[in-house]
Amino acid sequence: MKHERTTGQWLGVTMLGAMASAIGGYFVLLAPVFDGAGFLAGAAAQEGRVRAGTLLVLLAASLPLAGALALWPQLRHRGTRLAPALIALASACLAVTAVEQGLLLAMVSLSQAHATAADPAAFEPVYTMAGGARYAVHYLALLLSGATSLTLYTSLFQARLLPRALPACGMAAVALHMSAVLLHLVGQPFHFPLVAPAALCQLATGGWLLARGLRPGRALPRAYAA
């Protein structure tokens, strides 16, 4: 029982930490750099802010993998077959996020060259290409992050490691979040109200895990996992 509590608390830390890091990286540090005169004109003077935001975003993508690795023994013990998929998706999400942040740092270099160039306008086509690539990778990272969360909640539901209402709500909320991303990719406005339930479920699940840990119990029969 002590092991379930410790593993659950660590999983709660990773969920809450990932949420806080993503908010701090994307919205607190990076978002203001894109405002005002724009990233190309303003990022050179805010390099430290961009690098700090990049580190927070990478931390946000690393924590779900740390949580998945810690959860592996419990999922295998309970008979669920989703443990390898959870680790694979978390790893893929981290790799794609690293590519995204690498592109963002390359855009900072463009901004620095733009600031000292005799013809700043010459950098705009290159910046547009780099920004488009970063935009595409960013949304791929969002979809992979959603798939990771969906697999995590499904695993917790299937293995009965939490009161089933928590992961059930999480699955529905993440499905809404991924729908918002997919709709935006086909040209629709991004609907932030569709994202809010996923954030609330992550906060609730992370808080429960931090306070109570995982539910102890016996291994599930193999037929259940199938």
Q: Give the model confidence (pLDDT) of 132-171 as tens digits.
A: 999 999 999 999 999 999 999 999 999 999 999 999 999 9
Q: Give the model confidence (pLDDT) of 78-107 as tens digits.
A: 888 899 999 999 999 999 999 999 999 999
How does DSSP assign 77-128, residue by residue? HHT-S-HHHHHHHHHHHHHHHHHHHHHHHHHHHHHHHHHH-SSGGGGHHHHH
Judge whether residue 184 has pLDDT over 60: yes
Please give the biggest Cα pair distance in the chain. Answer: 70
Average pLDDT, the chain: 93
pLDDT of residue 36: 83
Residue 142 C-alpha from the chain's centroid: 6
Q: Which is nearest to 97 in space by CA: 43, 151, 16, 26?
A: 26
In the block, which residue shows the tokens 């991924």?
Answer: 178
pLDDT of residue 217: 59
Q: What span, in angstroms and rounded, lies between the C-alpha atoms of 78 and 74?
A: 6
- State the number of CA atoms in the 13 A half-sphere of 34 facing the CB: 13
pLDDT category of residue 223 using cuts at 50, 70 and 90: very low
Residue 162 C-alpha from the chain's centroid: 22
High-pLDDT (> 70) share of the chain, %: 95
Judge whether residue 173 has pLDDT over 60: yes
Name residues whose C-beta falls within 8 Å of residue 59's C-beta, 6 or more positions apart in sequence. Answer: 17, 18, 21, 25
Q: Give the model confidence (pLDDT) of 15-67 as tens digits.
A: 999 999 999 999 999 999 999 889 999 999 999 999 999 999 999 999 999 99
Q: What span, in angstroms and rounded, lies between the C-alpha atoms of 11 and 209?
A: 7
Q: In this structure, what DSSP letter does residue 186 have?
A: T
Please give the span between the terminal C-alpha atoms of the chain, in angstroms, as a whole number: 26
| Angle in degrees, CA 154, 158, 161, rounded to 5 | 95
Q: Which run of H or E residues covers position 150? A: helix 124-159
- Angle separating helix axes 124-159 and 196-212, nearest 10 degrees: 50
